[in-house]
């Protein structure tokens, strides 16, 4: 089958790439075609789970403020961002029937607060602009041929036969003049993002910078059950099959950029007794300091969540990129929480002593143990549900040292949750080998990359989707213009 432009991956970047390309082709009026190949039964699986199902699809900060949240080469991303700014993206959605709202921190959401609306709008825009979206079509290999590319794919077809679903799988070949790879990273592989694009990038001569999970949970020492799952590597590539030109099956070797992490702690590793005490607690307006080998390397203010994964929420995620890198490099990582950042240590100490006096002189305190009274007093300073975890991790705390401990609650970090449940993949196709103004490969003419498959990543807050959308749009427009 033939299409002038093929896009591999029907995620955020791929769908917008197709829309961008179709817009240019419509102006040319030569009847050229764009096709998206998506391996999952539905496009946009990952978008559906973004923003806890609400999809924080962009952030409307201007470039100066937006770029401060990008953790990779800002100059590389500037042309793509300026070609489809957050406001232009909102307008693109609006024109296609989806209104959006801007909330705290300049985060934009669909007005309905339903991620499904984002996917539906993108698919509607594809249909209206003549883009063909083929689902259940997994690209296996890419070959460079005269005048373009040839792709070996596996097409799954599903048919209802009475009560059961009949599934047929057959090989299909696609050919194109221009190819856009928008296969995402490695995070949440269940959504279809399993790093396939990195393999082809390497085969086509590109460097792939080592991938690390980012915006992920950090696991304090003792938080998870020290069972044999900890540290085990689940290799997404184990057993992966590749269909070569002769269609014989062979096991792909594990790519050299595919990381093995000693400090990876599977999300499903059960919580320890201590972890259970933490789990489900959220703290607002606290300060978190990240220490690497004893040096404070990052300080952030905001909210933190203790989940079944570990330390998460905006604060946990903000420091996770650096923390994961340090852990992978074998450095000692710890965090310190200041639960009362707005109160001076001396004032807090006076507060603690005043509360202690109140508690011990309360009629109801008669006959109660010291431990019980101390916990009651602590419960006046931090959420009651967190008091046991606090006391367990600070067994020597006293009335005199409580203020200092509340301002410096230290936890050593044992490891991190991996690609199975991280938000974004840091690392990927090396951007120095891609033309920033077009997103075309410097190694292979006619080949473009967009979205998370590239070595681009940013903070939480709508920044990552904006980068996926704007790189997709630029790659699509550039591919179409170059036809
Ligand atoms: C839980 C979660 C919440 C998030 N929330 C937000 C948020 O609120 N705001 C924000 O800005 N960012 C958020 N992100 C990040 C955001 O989802 C990503 O930045 C974005 O989806 C990347 O888009 P992409 O198109 O590059 O990759 P993906 O969305 O991963 O799409 C890649 C597509 O390629 C397909 N594919 C892969 N290999 C093949 C193949 N061989 N053949 C055919 N198709 C293939 C996949 O099936 C997939 O559909 C979140 C991420 C997660 C995991």
What SS3 string covers the chain? CECCEEEECCCHHHHHHHHHHHHHHHHHCCCCCEEEECCCCCCCHHHHCHHHHCCCCEECCCHHHHHCCECCCHHHHHHHHHHCCHHHHHHHHHHCCCCEEEEHHHEEEECCCCHHHHHHHHHHHHHHCCCEEECCEEEEEEEEECCEEEEEEEEEEEEEECCEEEEEEEEEEEEECEEEECCCCCCCHHHCCCCHHHHHHHHCCCCEEEEEEECCCEEECCCECCCCCCCCCCCCCCCCEEECCCCCEEECCCCCCCCCCCCECCCCCCECHHHHHHCCCEEEEEEEEEEECCEEEEEEEEEEEECCCCEEHHHHHHHHHHHHHHHHCCCCEEEEEECCCCCCHHHHHHHHHHHHHHHHCCHHHCCCCHHHHHHHHHCCCCCHHHHHHHHHHCCCCCCCCHHHHHCCEEEEEEEECCCCCCCEEEEEECHHHECCCCCEECCCCCEEECHHHECCCECCCCHHHHHHHHHHHHHHHHHHHCC
* 107 CB near ligand 1 (under 6 Å): no
Residue 31 CA to residue 36 CA, distance in Å, equals: 17
The pLDDT score that the predictor gives to residue 253 is 59
* 12 CB near ligand 1 (under 6 Å): yes
* 462 CB near ligand 1 (under 6 Å): yes
The pLDDT score that the predictor gives to residue 234 is 39
The alpha carbon of 265 and the centre of ligand 1 are apart by a number of angstroms equal to 22
Which residues fall within 8 angstroms of residue 32, CB to CB, at 6 or more apart?
A: 4, 5, 25, 480, 483
The pLDDT score that the predictor gives to residue 161 is 87
- Mutational test site, ligand 1, from 41, 468, 473, 474, max ligand atoms within 8 Å of CB: 468
Yes or no: say if 158 and 136 are a contact pair by the CB < 8 Å rule: yes
* 187 CB near ligand 1 (under 6 Å): yes
The pLDDT score that the predictor gives to residue 228 is 43
* 464 CB near ligand 1 (under 6 Å): yes
Closest ligand 1 atom to Cα of 45: 49
Residue 466 CA to residue 85 CA, distance in Å, equals: 8
pLDDT in tens, the chain (483 residues): 999 999 999 999 999 999 999 999 999 999 999 999 999 999 999 999 999 999 999 999 999 999 999 999 999 999 999 999 999 999 999 999 999 999 999 999 999 999 999 999 999 999 999 999 999 999 999 999 999 999 999 999 988 888 888 999 999 999 999 999 999 999 999 999 999 999 999 999 999 999 999 999 999 999 998 654 444 433 333 333 333 333 444 455 566 667 778 899 999 999 999 999 999 999 999 999 999 999 999 999 999 999 999 999 999 999 999 999 999 999 999 999 999 999 999 999 999 999 999 999 999 999 999 999 999 999 999 999 999 999 999 999 999 999 999 999 999 999 999 999 999 999 999 999 999 999 999 999 999 999 999 999 999 999 999 999 999 999 999 999 999
Angle (deg, nearest 10), helices 86-95 and 463-481: 70
The pLDDT score that the predictor gives to residue 207 is 95
Placement of tokens 């006959």 in the chain: 367
Domains defined for the chain, CATH in brackets? 5-210+428-481 (3.50.50.60), 345-406 (no CATH)
Phi/psi for 128 (5° steps) reads -65, -30
User: Which pair of structure tokens corresponds to residue 268?
Assistant: 């499903």
| pTM for the whole structure | 0.92
Closest ligand 1 atom to Cα of 184: 27
* 312 CB near ligand 1 (under 6 Å): no
* 10 CB near ligand 1 (under 6 Å): yes
* 142 CB near ligand 1 (under 6 Å): no
Closest ligand 1 atom to Cα of 192: 47
- Mutational test site, ligand 1, from 43, 192, 197, 473, max ligand atoms within 8 Å of CB: 192
* 429 CB near ligand 1 (under 6 Å): no
> Closest Cα to atom 46, ligand 1: which residue?
192
Residue 366 CA to residue 223 CA, distance in Å, equals: 35
Long-range contacts of 196-200 (CB under 8 A, 24+ apart): 196/8, 196/139, 197/8, 197/9, 197/429, 197/449, 197/453, 198/255, 198/257, 198/258, 198/428, 198/429, 198/453, 199/252, 199/255, 200/141, 200/142
User: Which pair of structure tokens corresponds to residue 337?
Assistant: 């929480």
Yes or no: say if 179 and 34 are a contact pair by the CB < 8 Å rule: no
Angle (deg, nearest 10), helices 12-28 and 463-481: 30
């Amino acid at each position: 089958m033939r299409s002038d432009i093929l896009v591999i991956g029907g995620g955020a970047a791929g769908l917008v790439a197709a829309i961008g390309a179709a817009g240019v082709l419509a102006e040319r009026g030569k009847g050229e075609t764009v096709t998206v190949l998506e391996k999952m039964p539905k496009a946009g699986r990952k978008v559906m789970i973004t923003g806890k199902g609400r999809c924080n699809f962009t952030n409307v900060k201007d470039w100066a403020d937006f770029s401060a949240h990008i953790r990779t080469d800002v100059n590389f991303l500037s042309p793509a961002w300026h070609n489809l700014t957050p406001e232009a993206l909102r307008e693109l959605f609006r024109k296609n029937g989806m209104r959006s709202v801007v909330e705290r921190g300049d985060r934009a959401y669909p007005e309905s607060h339903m991620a499904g609306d984002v996917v539906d709008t993108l698919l509607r825009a594809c249909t209206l602009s003549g883009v063909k979206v083929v689902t259940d079509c997994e690209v296996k290999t890419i070959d460079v041929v005269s005048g373009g590319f040839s792709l070996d794919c596996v097409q799954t077809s599903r048919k209802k036969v009475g009560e059961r679903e009949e599934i047929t799988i057959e090989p299909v070949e696609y050919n194109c003049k221009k190819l856009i790879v928008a296969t995402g990273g490695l995070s949440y592989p269940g959504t279809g993002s399993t790093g396939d694009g990195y393999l082809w990038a390497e085969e086509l001569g590109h460097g792939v910078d080592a991938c690390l999970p980012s915006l992920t949970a950090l696991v304090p020492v003792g938080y998870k059950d020290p069972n044999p799952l900890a540290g085990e590597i689940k290799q997404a590539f184990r057993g992966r099959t590749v269909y070569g030109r002769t269609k014989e099956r062979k096991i792909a070797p594990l790519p050299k950029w595919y990381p093995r992490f000693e400090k990876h702690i599977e999300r499903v590793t059960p919580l320890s007794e201590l972890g259970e005490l933490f789990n489900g607690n959220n703290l607002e307006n606290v300060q978190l300091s990240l220490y690497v080998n004893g040096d404070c390397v990052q300080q952030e203010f905001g909210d933190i969540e203790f989940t079944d994964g570990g330390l998460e929420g905006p604060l946990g995620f903000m420091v996770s990129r650096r923390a994961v890198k340090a852990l992978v490099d074998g450095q000692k990582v710890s965090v310190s929480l200041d639960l009362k950042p707005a109160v001076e240590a001396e004032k807090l100490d006076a507060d603690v002593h005043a509360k202690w006096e109140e508690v011990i002189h309360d009629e109801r305190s008669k006959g109660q143990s010291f431990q019980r009274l101390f916990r009651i007093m602590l419960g006046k300073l931090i959420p009651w549900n967190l008091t046991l975890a606090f006391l367990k991790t600070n067994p020597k705390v006293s009335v005199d040292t409580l203020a200092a401990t509340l301002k410096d609650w230290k936890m050593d970090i044992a490891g991190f949750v991996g690609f199975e449940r991280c938000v974004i993949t840091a690392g990927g196709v090396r951007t120095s080998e891609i033309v920033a103004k077009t997103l075309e490969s410097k190694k292979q003419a006619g080949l473009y990359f967009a979205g998370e498959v590239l070595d681009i990543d940013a903070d939480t807050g709508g920044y990552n989707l904006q980068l996926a959308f704007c790189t997709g749009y630029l790659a699509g427009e550039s591919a179409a213009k170059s036809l």
